[in-house]
Structure 1
Amino acid sequence: MQRNARKAYVPGLVALLVAVAAGCTGAGGGDGSPTDPKPGGPTPVASPGKYRTLREPCGSVPLATLQELLPTTPGLAEEQQEKIYRGTAAVTYDTDRRVGCSWKADSPDASHQLVIDVERVVSYDPAVSDDDRAQEVYARKESAAELPAPGSGDGAGNGDGAGSPSPGTSSTDGTSPDDTSTASTASTASTASGTTPQTVSPSATTSPSPGSPGASDAPGAPGAPVEGLQPRVLDGLGDAAFLDDAVARSGSAAQNRTVSVVFRTSNVIVTVQYTEQPAHPTDVPDSAQLQERARGLARKLADEMNE
């Protein structure tokens, strides 16, 4: 009995081994062609961004630049000036991903606030590069700024100049009015007065009465950007850039103006916010001067990043 059971077992074992071998080398689809059981080649991984760390922002602005942007009361003690120009670092949880700094100074004529926010974008999707992810973040910021569309007839220029150059020409600093881009302003810091800026609307069709909310937003009204100084895309600054110019009110008549310059370089997005609050309610912040200073600082920061 034992010998017969053994004979029955051996053919079954042989059949099992044959089936296993057929499974390992088995034929493929219905056409009989062999199939490689291994997956295709390695999954491509997108290249990382240029920047892996961030500089400490409070020390990134030259003292001479801070003194120009943040005038103080004449005769102010040296210790007080040093405290003002030292700046206050933003509280962040990962200084390799986001850093910031703010400064505030008062003078007899106005108070000024400067805020810098620097964000390093990292893509956790191996199929999407850090640069592409940063462009997505930047595009949302530009979209939120609601920049006037090119050729909308509202007088908004796209160049990085103070004037409104004609089509096909460049402004004094090499910008082109034909340049367009997609993007959005990020809310990275509050203004000096703590109010929410309202973007100037140069295309308004009504003229509010003097002293009413929004009076300074009407075309030609005090505080409204002049021709060529409206919010716009900037050329020649990083990989993409735009400028926003907003007026906000605090109190019954006082107003402040905030100029924001946002630019992207590889996988880093930098926001510069420069605010002026006049000491006298009837005074109007100079849009051209604020824009020139904010753009100048943004260019300095971009140059430092490329060193």
Structure 2
Amino acid sequence: MPASEGAPAARQRHRTLWFWIFVGPFAAGLALFTYVPLAWSVYLSFFDAHNTVSPSDFVGLANYAELLGDASFRSSLVTFAVFTVFVVPATFALSLALALAVGRLRVARAFFRSVFFLPTACSYVVAATVWKLSLFNGVRFGLANTVLGWFGAEPVAWLAEADPPWYWLVIVSVRLWLQTGFYMVLFLAGLQRIPPRLYEAAALDGARPGWQTFRHITFPALRSTSVAVVLLLVVNAFQAFDEFYNLLSDQRGYPPYARPPLVHLYYIALGQGQDLGLGSAGAVLLALVIAVATILQARWSGLGRRED
């Protein structure tokens, strides 16, 4: 009896040991390269940390007050808001439309799903470089200006002028190309979870296929997927950096317009002043804004609430 009772405990210890063998290195790496830097960034935000990561001059909330009083930082938040207004609805609508179109295919569905998802694997830096040098390079040999030339229009300096702000077209289009395929896959997964009997019952009730079916059956059934997609889009918009920096910066530096929060904090922490304390305070504020926006949106949309 003692031997038989000890066998389950030994097996449990054996499973626990192998669990930590597989998970331990990843957990240690996550703590070392993610949680420790995050905690140290919060620590730095309360110190005067010019050109050092081990400061001793405690300044309390002075970094936060200085950053909130900085018009450039507030302007970067406005840039984020504009970027979000453009990219979130456009990505949501385009990815949903692609999911509906691919989901209706009877042949080559896997091929088109892979084609639209493939840009997700592309680097933001590479995509921004292609957009800047080949598609919207501002000279008459660029693809966009070549097409405009066919209609007799003059070349447009897409990224060199702030008025009119043509750079928004370049930034939003590259982000759409990079991320639409990923959210299309999420919507495809949501569409596959809709029971076919709902459409059959709707057909028996006289619902016409198309907009009427989409409005009353498909879109309501995608509610949880839609909420998750919007949350991810908003968080990713807050983290925009690569496309802005690689599209707008040149040998002269970054222009004073269209600076999202991460670009502004990049120049604070890694610019000439290298004020790591002020940059860390900005990172904390940005994380708080993301958290509050996510919580409010989740509460407003009822994320996690039991569906009827």
From the two aligned structures, give the one with the greater helix fraction.
2
TM-score > 0.5 by shorter chain: no
Report the TM range for the smaller structure's normalisation: under 0.3
TM-score (norm 2): 0.21
TM-score (norm 1): 0.21
Q: Which has the higher contact order (CA 8 A, sep 6+)?
A: 2
From the two aligned structures, give the one with the greater strand fraction.
1
